[in-house]
Chains A and B, each alone.
Chain A
C-alpha cells in the first residue's frame, strides 16, 4: 500500500510527512511528528481532546485523515503560545486552576483560542455552546468558562482581577 506524501503548514512551519491512508491527522501529529499535545480521548469526535485549527476552523483531528491535510494550515496546542509567552487563555487556565487531570486541556485551549479569534466578547452562553464539543470529566466546566471569559477580557484590554489563589 502506497504511503501518501503530504505538504502542509503546522504552527506556521512548512511540514512534509508520509502517512498511511488510514492514519488520522491525530495519529500523524502524535506518532510521526512528535506533537503529543493533542490528545486521543474518544476517537469518535465526541470529546474534543484532539481539537486543532485547520484554516481558521476547529476540527477534531481524530476525524480527519493525515492525507487530507495536504495544502492546509494547521494550528495545534503547541502553536498557541508565542515562544515563552503564554496565550491569555493559557494564562487564565493557570490562574483559575481550570484543569485537574489536564487531559482535556489542550483541546479546550485550542477551541477557546479559536472562539476568541472570532469573537472577543462572547457571552457565557455563547462560550458554553462553543465548547460543547469539549468534554471535561474533572472540573465541572465552571472554572473553564470563567478562564475563557477572563481571557477574553484581557484580550479586549480590560484588566480582570485574578481569582484568589
Chain B
C-alpha cells in the first residue's frame, strides 16, 4: 500500500499547486467526518490528504450587501450559531444542523457534505433551493457553479483535478422569501435521510407564490430539483388544491432505489408528504417577513 502524506497549505494558490501536482489518489480534507471513516474502513486509500482549514477564509461566514459568503470548511456549529444567516435562511441552517451529533457539528462542513456526494446529504437541498453557488479554485483560476452542478452521482462530483471548493455564495432573501428543510428518519436523531426536502418560496403581498424551488434528497442518484413541483406552487396560495398538486409532482420527480431505509413506493409517498410539510413551513415563514 502506498504511504500517505499530509499537506496543510495556507493559501488557495498553494493548495491548487499541491492538488494539481499530485499523482495518485488525493483527498481534500474539510471537517473529515466522512473522509476519516472512509480511511479507517479502507474504502478510500489516498496517497495525499490536503487539509483546507488553514487557508484564510475557508472557515467563517461573511455577510455582504447582497449575499452571505460561507467558507467551504466552516463547521456546522459556526453555521447554526450565526444569527444573521439563521434569520435569513432557516432552512439552510436546519439542514446542516440535522447532520450527526454535536461532536459531528464541531467538524462537518457544507463542502464536505456536498463533495462526499451522498444523495442523502442533508445540507444540500436547501442550499440548492436558495440558488446558492459554489466558488471553485483550480489550476485555471476561480469559477463559480450552481450547487446542483457539483454532484454528478453517488460519490462523484464535477470537480476536475486540482479543483476544490473555497466558499459558497448564498443570495440574501427578497421580501417575503424564506425556506425550510425537512428530513424523514425513523428516529429523532443520528440517522441518514430516507427522504429529505428543501423548499424555498417567494410570495407577493397577498400570499401568492411568485417563485419557488423544491429540492428532494435520497430519492435519486443526486439531489433532485423538482421543477414541476415548484411550478405547482407558483401563481397560487397554499391551499389544499395546491398542496395536492405539489405532493403528486414531488412524487413524480423521484427515481429512488429500494434499500434498508425504505422501498421505492415508500420514498415516493414520503417525498410528497415532506414537500407539503416543508412548503407549509416555508410559506408561513415567508409571509411573516
Contact = CB atoms under 8 A, between A and B. Distances in A.
B65 interface: no
B102 A130 contact: yes
A65 B51 CA distance: 10
Q: Looking at chain B, what size class is its interface with the partner chain?
A: 20 to 34
Interface stretch (B2-10, B138-146, B170-178, B243-251): B2-10
B25 interface: no
Contacts of A48: 101, 103
B102 A65 contact: no
Contacts of B100: 45, 133
A60 B37 CA distance: 11
A25 B51 CA distance: 15
Contacts of B77: 57
A112 to B, nearest CB: 11
Contact of B101 (A2, A65, A133): A133
B267 to A, nearest CB: 24
Interface residues of A, number: 33
A130 B36 CA distance: 23
Nearest to A60: B103
A68 B5 contact: no
A131 B190 CA distance: 11
A9 interface: no
A60 B104 contact: yes
Contact of B32 (A43, A58, A64, A114): A64
B8 A70 contact: yes
B39 interface: yes
B259 interface: no
Contacts of B102: 58, 111, 114, 130-133
Interface in B254-278: none
A34 B289 CA distance: 55
A59 interface: yes
Nearest to B51: A68
Interface in B54-98: 54, 75, 77
A46 B4 CA distance: 25
Interface in B132-164: none
Given A48-B101, A57-B75, A133-B100, A2 B5 contact: yes
Contact of B103 (A22, A24, A111, A129): A111
B49 interface: yes
A44 interface: yes
Interface in A5-46: 20-22, 24, 43-46
B189 interface: yes
A67 interface: yes
A44 B189 CA distance: 16
Contacts of B36: 24, 45, 62-65
A101 interface: no
28 contacts: A1-B3, A21-B5, A43-B40, A44-B40, A45-B36, A45-B37, A45-B104, A48-B103, A51-B103, A57-B105, A59-B103, A59-B107, A60-B33, A60-B104, A62-B36, A63-B33, A63-B107, A64-B32, A65-B36, A65-B51, A67-B8, A67-B51, A68-B29, A68-B32, A114-B102, A132-B101, A132-B102, A134-B101
Interface of A: 1-2, 4, 20-22, 24, 43-46, 48, 51, 54, 57-60, 62-65, 67-68, 70, 111, 114, 129-134
Interface of B: 3-6, 8, 29, 31-33, 36-37, 39-41, 49, 51, 53-54, 75, 77, 100-107, 189-190
- Give the 3 A-B residue pairs with the shortest CB-CB distance, closest first: A133-B101, A21-B6, A1-B3
